[in-house]
Structure 1
Amino acid sequence: MASVIHLAGETIAGRWNAEKKQRIRDSRILSTRNLVESFAAADTKPDVLVCASAIGYYGDSGDERFTEVSPAGTDFLAEVCQEWESEAQKAIALGIRVVMVRIGLVLGLGGGLLTQVLPPFKMGVGGILGSGRQWMSWVHVDDVVGIVLHVLENSEIRGPLNATAPTPVRNTEFTKTLGAVLRRPTLLPVPTFGLKLMMGEFADFVVLSQNVVPEKTEVSGYEFRYPTLESALRNLL
């Protein structure tokens, strides 16, 4: 069975401006469009396309819990994810099984969330971000890999699949747990206005509340290696 796994995309981290936002959009949508067009032109087509997406698809959940059947949001990242997935789904007409893996906040040492937050926490100046009440739907990088392999091995899985741990946490709990694992104090909160001064529009994403669970992922039979935040952080740190 021939499989294609498409994970390309400009990082969303960093100060957003018009150029940065265009790169975020084009690196996802245009690359996926070009990939599907190449499938159409090829004599031999893959059996499955696993295309990365993101939980940004859902927008701000507040305290509401989102699953794979929840509606899309309306902010910038939600619109990007909708277009991204739409381009991937065009491969269905070519007889290709398509799965969009909506990835949460990835915990790993080679990039992602931890590389952004570890330096201040290790120096003892970490703290909650904004109100601290926003939900964070995290996932260990090993489980992202595990979910992709699970998709490849199970031909009945189609459509969107959330790659998030089954236990999302509020930012206050994330901060407390990370501080405990590192044995560092977490006494210096960063208010929302401070985040906006440092990050511009990207600060809106940092304080976004996303209470997303992997309902379809678990129903399909995937068992998480790191279902709790503490287990994930202790493995990595």
Structure 2
Amino acid sequence: MKIAVTGGTGFVGRALVDALASRGDEVWIISRSVKQAPSPSNVHIVTWNELKQKPQRLEGVETIVNLAGESINQRWSAAAKERILRSRVDAASQIAALVGALKHKPAAVVNASGISIYGASDTAVFDETSPAHLTDYLGEVTEQWEAAADRIPVERLVKVRVSLVLGTKGGAFPLMALPYRIFAGGRVGSGSQWMSWIHIEDMTRLLLFCIDHPEIKGAVNASAPNPVTNDQFGRAVSHAMGRPHWFPVPAVLLKTVLGEMSTLLLEGQQVIPSKLLGSGFDFRYPTIEAAMNELVGQRR
């Protein structure tokens, strides 16, 4: 298959490109600039500017996977919030223009989104049928992100609502595990807030699943089937690493240090991947204990 990937140099994007290349697909990374040539012969890089001039370079592409977006792991100043929003909306809009310029349209677009669209709750359980409930900035971003994706003129659109992706080569987890490495780990805030998460290997596999299964469309929750509380998450990290779970981080400290971004750690939701489970997708890491043992376990 000929597949294009935006955000192909990011944490999730790199894992996806590697998986696509390994199975023999022809992969085109769409980037703002060409920093270095990819090593596999079946992986190519093309810039947005080049595609504006010659969109035909992607003629024959069967699926476009859009993972582009400014990192949310930064202090949310007014300027940062605008960059976070614009990067996501603009990427979807550019894909819409690209698809419109192609003579032979791709069969599908798999567009990243976020579970923030469901809003924060200590009690509710959300699946793909749950309505949007905007309670914070990221929820509003996700709503506009998906609205921009809905305007892509493609037959099959998959909106992958991504939870916390756990891996050792990027994302938030290395920083989350750091306190445990220095024997200072513990619950964050009350510890009762829910965390929906997914192992990077399952994240990659479900993207491949969405690419390969034409019956999959609409919202898809990219989360393991067993969400946990923040305290349960920390205890799983502690047990896998052989480190204590004893040093709590007060909510007021996080709010002071991180500002509005502290909501990422202090609020959450229980998200269930009903569509994937109903379609036969098999999670290799369905529990946080299995994920932690693979990522940071002492007998890894």
Band of TM-score, shorter chain: over 0.9
Percent of paired sites with the same residue: 40
- Structure 1 CA distance, aligned partners of 2:280 and 2:150? 23
Q: Which moved more, 1:57-66 or 1:165-174?
A: 57-66
Return structure 1 stretches of 4+ with deviation > 4 angstroms: none
Number of the residue aligned with 1:131: 190
Give the alignment partner of residue 219 of structure 2, picking from 160, 185, 189: 160
**Residue identity in the other structure for 2:77:** N
- Structure 2 CA distance, aligned partners of 1:204 and 1:109? 23
- Structure 1 CA distance, aligned partners of 2:263 and 2:293? 29
**Residue identity in the other structure for 2:194:** W
Question: Is contact 1:164-1:213 (8 Å) kept?
Answer: yes
Give 1:110 deviation, angstroms: 1.6
Does the alignment pair 1:33 with 2:93? yes
Does the alignment pair 1:87 with 2:87? no
**Residue identity in the other structure for 2:169:** G
Number of the residue aligned with 2:294: 235
- Structure 2 CA distance, aligned partners of 1:138 and 1:96? 29
Question: Is contact 2:99-2:154 (8 Å) kept?
Answer: no
Give 1:90 deviation, angstroms: 1.5
Number of the residue aligned with 2:241: 182
Give the alignment partner of residue 207 of structure 1, picking from 255, 263, 266: 266
1:158-209 deviation line (CA, Å, top 9, x unaligned): 1000010000000110011101111111111011101011101101221112
Gaps of 5+ in 2: 2-61
- Structure 1 CA distance, aligned partners of 2:101 and 2:192? 49
- Structure 2 CA distance, aligned partners of 1:154 and 1:175? 35
After TM superposition, list the pairs within 5 Å mapping 1:219-230 onto structure 2. 219-230=278-289
1:140-175 deviation line (CA, Å, top 9, x unaligned): 011111111111111011100001000000011001
1:39-70 deviation line (CA, Å, top 9, x unaligned): 11221211110001111111102211000111
Number of the residue aligned with 2:106: 46
- Structure 2 CA distance, aligned partners of 1:122 and 1:87? 41
Number of the residue aligned with 2:123: 63
Gaps of 5+ in 1: none
Number of the residue aligned with 1:6: 66
**Larger RCO (alpha carbons 8 Å, 6+ apart):** 1
Q: Which moved more, 1:177-186 or 1:109-118?
A: 109-118
Q: Counterpart of 1:101 in 2: which secondary structure?
A: strand
Number of the residue aligned with 1:170: 229
State the TM-score, normalized to the length of structure 2: 0.76
Give 1:219 deviation, angstroms: 0.5
Question: Is contact 1:73-1:79 (8 Å) kept?
Answer: no
- Structure 1 CA distance, aligned partners of 2:217 and 2:131? 17
Greater C-alpha Rg: 2
| Cα RMSD after superposing both structures | 1.1
Give 1:4 deviation, angstroms: 0.6
Give 1:73 deviation, angstroms: 2.3
**Residue identity in the other structure for 1:10:** E
